[in-house]
Amino acid sequence: MNRRDFLRASLGSAAAALTSSGASARPNLTPAPEAIGMLFDSTLCVGCKACVSACKAVNGLPPTLLGDDVQYDSARDLSHETYNVIKVYTNGKPVAKDSETDGFAFEKRSCMHCVDPGCVSVCPVTALVRHPLTGIVTYDKDACIGCRTCMTGCPYNVPQFDYDNPWGMLHKCQMCNQKGVERIDKGGMTGCAEACPTGATLFGSRTALLEEAKRRMQLRPGEIYNYPRGDVRQPSSHHEKAVPHYQHHVWGEKEAGGTNVMHISSIPFDKLGMPPLGERSHVSISEGVQHTLYSYMALPAVVLGGLTWLVKRNTDDEGDDV
Amino acid sequence: MADNEFDFSAIETRLGVSRRTFLKFCTGVAASLGLGNNAAYAMAEAVADRKKRPPVIWLHGQECTGPTEALLRSEQPSLEHLILDLISLDYHQTLDAGAGHRVEEIKRHAMQEHKGKYLLVVEGAIPLAQNGIFCKIGGQTMTDATREAAEHAAAIVAYGSCASWGGVQSASPNPTGAVGAPQFLTDKTVVTIPGCPPNPANFIGTVLFFVTYGKLPPIDEKGRPKWAYGRLIHENCYRRPHFDAGRFATEFGDEGHRKGYCLYKLGCKGPETYNNCPSLEFNNVGGGVWPIGVGHPCFGCSEQGTGFHKALFSLSDVKTHTPPNTFPTIDAREGTSSATVATAAVAGVAVGAALGASAVAGRKLGNRDADQE
C-alpha cells in the first residue's frame, strides 16, 4: 500500500462511518415518566424578583453586588451564585407591558431541565445526571472533575463555574432537589414557584403544565381567567386576570427534544434571547456520530493501524539510508 | 418684635387658637408640600389677612358627601375653624345653614360679585346620561350648575374620586353616565384631589398654596398635585421590604398576615395607586390607621381605573418595576467584578515577570555560549 492508497482508504472509511452514523443516530430522548417541571408565563411576571430572593435563600447563595454603591442583590445573569435571574426585554419607549414595540417584558433565566440534556451527554464522569423518574438534572460535586465541558454542551448557557474559587465547582439549578435540600422528594415545590406572587412561575408535572399552557393559548384575549399559583395540580390559591395576547408557542414543548421548564410569552422567543433550536436534539446527533465512530473501538483501531504502518515505513526508509 | 413682622394677634381672637398652634399648623402644611419655613410664614400671613380669603363655591354632585365629612373630622386642631375662616365659603350644600331658593340666590349673587376671583370646588360625579337628569339641585342639573360655576371661576378643584374621575357610580355599567369634572370641563384646568374619601391634608395644602401664591401647585397629567400624588403607595409602603424579599400574606389571618408581610397577593393596589397614604395615613386619623396599616390590601380608591373598577382581590400591575429600572437586559452577562480585574492584574504581573526572567536567562545563556566559543 502506498501513501496515496492509505490516505484514500482512511478517508473512505471515515466517510463511511459518518454516513452510517446519520442513519444510526439515536432519536430524541422522551420525557421522564413522572417528569417534574415549571411553567414560566412572562405575561404574569411583575418583576418583583421574589423568586430570585427565594432561590438564594433555599440554596444558601450570597447576594451578587454590583459594586460598592449597590449593596443589594443585583445579579445581571446566571453565575456561580445566581441560579435564577429575571431579565427585561425593552423596545423603543418601554411603556406597555408585553408589547413587542414600545414595550417591555420580563423573562426568567434558569436551568431548563432539558428532556435530552446536553450537559449530561457531554459530562465525561457522569457528574450530571438526569433523574430516571422525575427528569430533574442534578449535579454531583464529588464526581465532577471541573472540566467545564457541560458549559459548552448547554444551549442555554446555564451551568456556571466558580472561577474565583481554587476548589471551584459547577453551579446550576437542581430544582431544589439536591442533597440536603430535597424539597421535591419531601413533597414540596421549588422555592421560586412557592414565592411567586402571581403564579408566573408555576410548579407541577410536565404533562399538567403543558396542558395548562395550551389551555391559556386557547383563551380569548381580554377574557378573565383564574390563574393558579404554586403547584398547578393543587394550587395554593388563584387570582383573576385578563388574558393577554399569547404567542402560540410553548417554548420547551419540542425545542431540541423539549424541556421540563417551559416558557410562554406574548413576545416572540428570539426577542427574549432564546437560542435558535430545531426540534431535533443536538445531543441525539452528536451522540449518534460519536457512538458510531467509537463502536467496538473500530475507528481508533483503524487509525492506530494506519499510524503504525506509517511509522514503520518511515523508520524503514531511515534504515535504508543509513 | 421687628416692625416688618406680621401681627397675628387678630387671628388668635378670630380663630380661637394660639399663635403658636396656628404657626405650627401652617408649618405642617408647608412641610407636607415640600416647602420651607418662609413658605410657612407666607401661608400664615395669607390666612391671617382677611382680604386674601378667596370666595368659594362648593358644588355637590353624585356622591356620599364623604370628602366634606372627612374634612370636618380632621384631627388637626381647630381645622374646621381654619378651613372655614381661611376661605370665604359662600355656597356649600352640606354646610349652609339656610336652604331652598334663598341659598341658590346667594350662590348666583356671590358668583356675580366675585366674577373671575372665586374658587370652584366640585365634589361628586356629574351624570351625563339623558341630559344630566339624574342629579338636580334647585331644579338645575349638575351639568348646568357645573358649567355655570366653572365659567368665571379663578380655579377649579375636583375634590374626591367622584369629582376627579367618576368614582363608584362610574363603575360598570354606569347607568347614569357619571364622569368626573375634568372629563366634563374638558376646556378648563381642573386640579383633582382623588380619594374615597380624600385626605383633607391634600385639599388644605392645595388650597393654602392657592391662597398664598395666587396660583395652583404643579400638577400631573391627571390634574393631581404632584406634592401629594407624585409617588406610588408601593414606593413608600413600610411593607415593601417584604415584597422585595418575596414574603407575602396569602390569606387573611395566616402566618404571613399576622407577621405583617406584604399584602400584594391579597390584591393590594398600592403598586399602581398614586397617593401619599404611607406618610399621611388615612384622613389624619393617626396611629398607623390606614388600610395597609391595619392589614387590609389597598383598594386603590384614588386611582382611576383601579378603585371600583378592578376586583378587590385581583392582582395589581406593579408600576414601580418598569424599565428603566435595575433589570439586566436579555443579553446582559455577569460583568467583570473588581475581584476579577485584580486577578487579571496579578496574572499580568506574573506573566510579565516570567517573560522578563526568561529574556534575561536567554541573554545569559547566549553570553555563556559566546564565552565558550
Sequence-ordered strand ranges (E) for A258-315: 261-264
CA-based radius of gyration for chain A? 25
Task: Quote the pLDDT of residue B344.
Answer: 59
pLDDT score of A130 more than 90: yes
Q: Are residues A18 and A108 in the same domain?
A: no
Strand A237-242 vs strand A224-229: parallel, antiparallel, or unpaired? antiparallel
Residues A40/A106, Cβ–Cβ less than 8 Å: no
Q: Are residues A275 and A293 in the same domain?
A: no
Residue A204: its H or E element: strand A201-205
* Residue B337 pLDDT level (bands cut at 50, 70, 90): very low
Higher pLDDT, A99 or B82: A99
Q: Are residues A270 and A295 in the same domain?
A: no
Q: Are residues A209 and A297 in the same domain?
A: no
Residue B277: its H or E element: helix B277-280
- The CATH number linked to A152 is 3.30.70.20
Which set of grid coordinates corresponds to residue A315?
523508520
**Cβ of B328 and A88 within 8 Å?**
yes
* Residue B3 pLDDT level (bands cut at 50, 70, 90): very low
Which set of grid coordinates corresponds to residue A49?
424578583
pLDDT score of A167 more than 70: yes
Rounded to a whole number, what is the distance in Å from the CA of B174 to chain A's nearest CA? 20
Higher pLDDT, A180 or B25: A180
Which residues lie closer than 8 Å to B326 by C-beta, 6 or more apart? A70, A74
The 10 Å CB-count burial string (b at 16+, else e) for A246-275 is: bbebbbbebbbbbbbbbbbbbbebeebbbe
Mean pLDDT of chain B: 84
Which set of grid coordinates corresponds to residue B303?
386611582
Q: Are residues A89 and A17 in the same domain?
A: no
DSSP single-letter state for residue A306:
H
Task: Quote the pLDDT of residue B41.
Answer: 78
Higher pLDDT, A215 or B319: A215
pLDDT score of B164 more than 70: yes
B311 to B29, B55, B63, B266, B298: CA distances (angstroms): 35, 40, 21, 11, 12
* Top mean-pLDDT range of A130-139, A294-303, B32-41, B204-213: A130-139
Q: Are residues A65 and A120 in the same domain?
A: yes
* Residue B346 pLDDT level (bands cut at 50, 70, 90): low
| CA–CA separation, B322 and B50 (whole Å) | 48
Percent of chain B with pLDDT over 90: 45
Say which amino acid occupies A176: C
pLDDT, one tens digit per residue, over B103-151 is 899 999 999 999 998 999 999 999 999 999 999 988 899 999 999 999 9
**Cβ of B328 and A104 within 8 Å?**
no
pLDDT, one tens digit per residue, over A62-76 is 988 877 776 778 888
What domain count does chain A have? 2
Higher pLDDT, B12 or B77: B12
User: In 3D, which of A61, A35, A105 has the Cα closest to residue A274?
Assistant: A105
Q: Which domain holds residue A75?
A: 36-279
Q: How many CB atoms lie within 10 A of CB A133?
A: 10
- Spell out which residues of chain A touch residue B246, defining contact as CB-CB under 8 Å: 48-51, 53-54, 195, 197
Least confident segment among A120-134, A257-271, B39-53 = B39-53
Q: Are residues A180 and A62 in the same domain?
A: yes
Which set of grid coordinates corresponds to residue B188?
378648563
Task: Quote the pLDDT of residue A12.
Answer: 60
pLDDT score of B242 more than 60: yes
Higher pLDDT, B63 or B333: B63
User: ω before B328 within 30° of 0 (cis)?
Assistant: no
User: In 3D, which of B337, B335, B326, B327 has the Cα closest to residue A67?
Assistant: B337
Say which amino acid occupies A8: R
Task: Quote the pLDDT of residue B207.
Answer: 84
Tell me the average pLDDT across A309-313: 90
| CA–CA separation, A58 and B109 (whole Å) | 72
The size of chain B, in residues, is 373
Label residue B265 exposed, middle or buried (CB < 10 Å: 0-12, 13-18, 19+): buried
B70 to B64, B88, B202: CA distances (angstroms): 11, 19, 11
Task: Quote the pLDDT of residue B357.
Answer: 75
pLDDT score of A226 more than 80: yes
pLDDT, one tens digit per residue, over B348-364 is 677 777 777 777 776 76
User: Which residue in the set B246, B321, B335 is minimally distant from A76, CB to CB?
Assistant: B335
Higher pLDDT, B129 or B246: B129
Q: Are residues A79 and A221 in the same domain?
A: yes
CA-based radius of gyration for chain B? 31
Higher pLDDT, A208 or A165: A208
pLDDT, one tens digit per residue, over B250-261 is 889 999 999 999
Chain B residues in contact with chain A using a Cβ-Cβ cutoff of 8 Å: 243-246, 248, 250-251, 264-265, 267, 271, 311, 313-315, 317-318, 321-335, 337-340, 343
Task: Quote the pLDDT of residue B77.
Answer: 42
**Cβ of B329 and A89 within 8 Å?**
yes
Residue ranges and CATH numbers for the domains of chain B are 9-228 (3.40.50.700), 231-323 (4.10.480.10)
Q: How many CB atoms lie within 10 A of CB A122?
A: 19
pLDDT score of B80 more than 80: no
B174-B175-B180-B186 Cα dihedral, nearest 10 degrees: 110
pLDDT score of A58 more than 80: yes
Q: Are residues A155 and A111 in the same domain?
A: yes
Q: Are residues A116 and A7 in the same domain?
A: no
Which set of grid coordinates corresponds to residue B158?
375636583
Q: Are residues A247 and A295 in the same domain?
A: no
| CA–CA separation, A265 and A268 (whole Å) | 7
Residues B240/B262, Cβ–Cβ less than 8 Å: yes
Task: Quote the pLDDT of residue A65.
Answer: 83
Ramachandran quadrant class, B14 (left: phi over 0; alpha: psi -120 to 50; beta: rest): alpha
Percent of chain A with pLDDT over 90: 65
Mean pLDDT of chain A: 88
Which residues lie closer than 8 Å to B43 by C-beta, 6 or more apart? B26, B29, B30, B208, B211, B212
Q: What is the maximal distance between C-alpha atoms in chain A?
A: 93
pLDDT score of A247 more than 90: yes
pLDDT score of B343 more than 60: no
* Residue B335 pLDDT level (bands cut at 50, 70, 90): low
Tell me the average pLDDT across A89-116: 91
| CA–CA separation, B15 and B13 (whole Å) | 6
Higher pLDDT, B368 or A34: A34
Q: Are residues A165 and A126 in the same domain?
A: yes
The 10 Å CB-count burial string (b at 16+, else e) for A23-34 is: eebeebbebbee
A194-A198-A201-A203 Cα dihedral, nearest 10 degrees: 50
Chain A residues in contact with chain B using a Cβ-Cβ cutoff of 8 Å: 46-51, 53-54, 64, 67, 70, 74-79, 82, 85-90, 94-95, 97, 104, 106-107, 163-164, 195, 197-198, 229, 236-237, 239-241, 271-273
ipTM, two decimals, is 0.74
Tell me the average pLDDT across A181-195: 93
**Cβ of A239 and B328 within 8 Å?**
no
Residue pairs between chains A and B whose CB atoms are closer than 8 Å: 105
Look up cell 404533562; give the residue.
Answer: A207
Tell me the average pLDDT across B54-71: 90
B60 to A53, A161, B16, B161, B301: CA distances (angstroms): 50, 68, 29, 13, 19
* Residue B367 pLDDT level (bands cut at 50, 70, 90): low
The size of chain A, in residues, is 322
pLDDT score of B51 more than 90: no
| CA–CA separation, B195 and B192 (whole Å) | 10
**Cβ of A76 and B328 within 8 Å?**
yes
Task: Quote the pLDDT of residue A251.
Answer: 95
Least confident segment among A16-25, B120-129, B275-284, B308-317 = A16-25
Task: Quote the pLDDT of residue B171.
Answer: 93
The structure's pTM equals: 0.77
**Cβ of A48 and B329 within 8 Å?**
no
